[in-house]
Structure 1
Amino acid sequence: MSEELIRFLENQDESVSAMLVQNIGDELTDILVAALEEALDVLAAGELPTTLH
């Protein structure tokens, strides 16, 4: 993994931890739902290769 990706993931972990500590569950749920909807849109659009490994 690249250094940039590792830093991005670490920042995401810190952001989620901060939200949990601040008890901002609703906002976190909204973010997760939006990410899931986006992932499902990608799957529905058939943008993935036919073979997954």
Structure 2
Amino acid sequence: MSNEIERLLERQDEAVSALFLENKGDELTDILVAALQEAFEILLEAAPAGTIH
């Protein structure tokens, strides 16, 4: 993994930890939902059209 990606992941971990410590569950939930939506969009783009049910 490149140093740039590693630093990005570290910053994300720090941001998530800060949200937990500040008891901001709603903001964390919003971030997680957005990440899941993006992941599903990527999967839909990568899947052949005939395999989605």
Is the TM-score greater than 0.5?
yes
Q: Is the counterpart of residue 13 in structure 1 residue 23 in structure 2?
A: no
Alignment of 1:33-52 (within 5 A): 33-45=33-45, 47=46
Length-normalised TM-score, structure 2: 0.79
Aligned length: 48
1:38 CA drift (Å): 1.1
Q: Which runs of 5+ in 1 are unaligned?
A: 49-53
**d(CA) in 1 for partners of 2:44 and 2:5?**
27
Q: Which runs of 5+ in 2 are unaligned?
A: 48-53
User: Stretches of 4+ moved more than 2 A in 1?
Assistant: none
Aligned identity (percent) is 60
Length-normalised TM-score, structure 1: 0.79
